[in-house]
Amino acid sequence: MSKQSSSLSQPVYEYILNMIMTKQLSTGEKIPENKIAEVFGVSRTPVRDAMRQLANEGLINILPNRFAQVAEYAETEILEIGTLRILLDSIAIKLCLLYGSRADFLNLKRIAIECENAYKANDYALRCKYDMEFHMELANITKNSILIKFQKEINLRVQFIILHYPNSITHDQTYLIQHKQIADALIEHNESEALQLMLDHMSGFYNLAGTYPGDFFNFVTQKSF
C-alpha cells in the first residue's frame, strides 16, 4: 500500500471500526462500501484497503467477488480466543515480574480500580475501555514488542465479543475484582498467586470450565524462578 493510499484509508478504517464498535453495524451485516466511499469522497480503493485491515484483525469477513460483512463468531472461536488469552497474559505476568517496576504495578492497580468503579456506576462502555486497558498495560510492561502487537490485535476481537456477544462471557463483579488482585500479587512479586488469579480470571470470563481436562493449564501456574 502506498503512503497516499494509506493516508486515505486510515480515516476510513477508523470510521468503519467505530461503526462496528458502536453497534451501528451488527454481526453479519454488509459493509456499505459505496456509501462510505461517498462519505469520504474517495474511490472504493481506500475503502477496500481499510476493509482488508479490519479483516486481518478479525472484525469483518470479505467474501471474494461479493461483499464484506461484519464478522460472526462461533462459540468455538470465542473459546479459542479465551484459551489464547490465558497463555498471552500468563507469559506477560512472568515477563512483568522480570522487567516491571513497582510504579508500573501501581498504575496497573489504578486501572483496575477505575474499571471496577465504572462497573459500579453501570457505565458499560467505560468499564469495557478500562478492561482492555488493563490487559494492554500488562503487555506494555513486558517491553516485548511482539507480545504487545498480539495483545493489541486480540484486544480488538475481545472488545468486539464483549459488545456483540455479551451472553458468551461473564460480566459479574468477581471478574473485575480479580484485576485488582492480580495487580496486588504483582506488587508483592507473588508469581504463583498472580498466575493462578489470571488463570481463574480468564477461565471464568470465557466460561472455560469443562472445556479442558482439569490439569490442562497446570503448566501455566508453575513458577519460573
pLDDT at 2: 46
Residue 107: pLDDT above 70?
yes
Q: What is the pTM assigned to this prediction? A: 0.84
> For 186-207, what is the mean pLDDT?
93
| Exposure letters 179-218 (e unless 16+ CB within 10 A, then b) | bbbbbbbbbeeebebbbbbbbbbbbbbbebeeeeeeeebe
Inter-CA distances, 13 with 25, 26, 55, 99, 185, Å = 14, 17, 11, 34, 39
> For 78-98, what is the mean pLDDT?
94
Q: What are phi and psi of 102, to 5 degrees?
A: -60, -40
151 burial class (0-12, 13-18, 19+ CB within 10 angstroms)? buried
Could you give the CA distance from residue 38 to residue 179 in angstroms, rounded to a whole number?
A: 44
10 burial class (0-12, 13-18, 19+ CB within 10 angstroms)? middle
User: What tens digit of pLDDT does each residue of 120-159 get?
Assistant: 998 888 888 899 999 999 999 999 999 999 999 999 999 9
C-alpha cell at position 188: 508483592
C-alpha cell at position 47: 475503502
Start-to-end CA span in the chain (Å): 45
Inter-CA distances, 17 with 20, 28, 133, 148, Å = 5, 15, 18, 20
Query: Among 98-107, 168-177, 189-198, which stretch is predicted with the lowest mean pLDDT?
Result: 168-177
Could you give the CA distance from residue 76 to residue 124 in angstroms, rounded to a whole number?
A: 25
> Within 13 Å and on the Cβ side, how many CA atoms surround 134?
28
Could you give the CA distance from residue 8 to residue 45 in angstroms, rounded to a whole number?
A: 9
* pLDDT top residue among 219 and 59: 59
Could you give the CA distance from residue 16 to residue 54 in angstroms, rounded to a whole number?
A: 9
> For 161-168, what is the mean pLDDT?
88
pLDDT at 8: 85
Residue 87: pLDDT above 50?
yes
Coil vs helix vs strand at 49: helix
C-alpha cell at position 20: 462496528
What are the structural domains of the chain? 3-70 (1.10.10.10), 75-221 (1.20.120.530)
pLDDT at 134: 96
Confidence category of residue 218, pLDDT binned at 50, 70, 90? confident
Query: Among 87-96, 160-169, 188-197, which stretch is predicted with the lowest mean pLDDT?
Result: 160-169
Judge whether 40 and 10 are in contact, CB under 8 Å: no
Query: Among 4-13, 102-111, 131-140, which stretch is predicted with the lowest mean pLDDT?
Result: 4-13
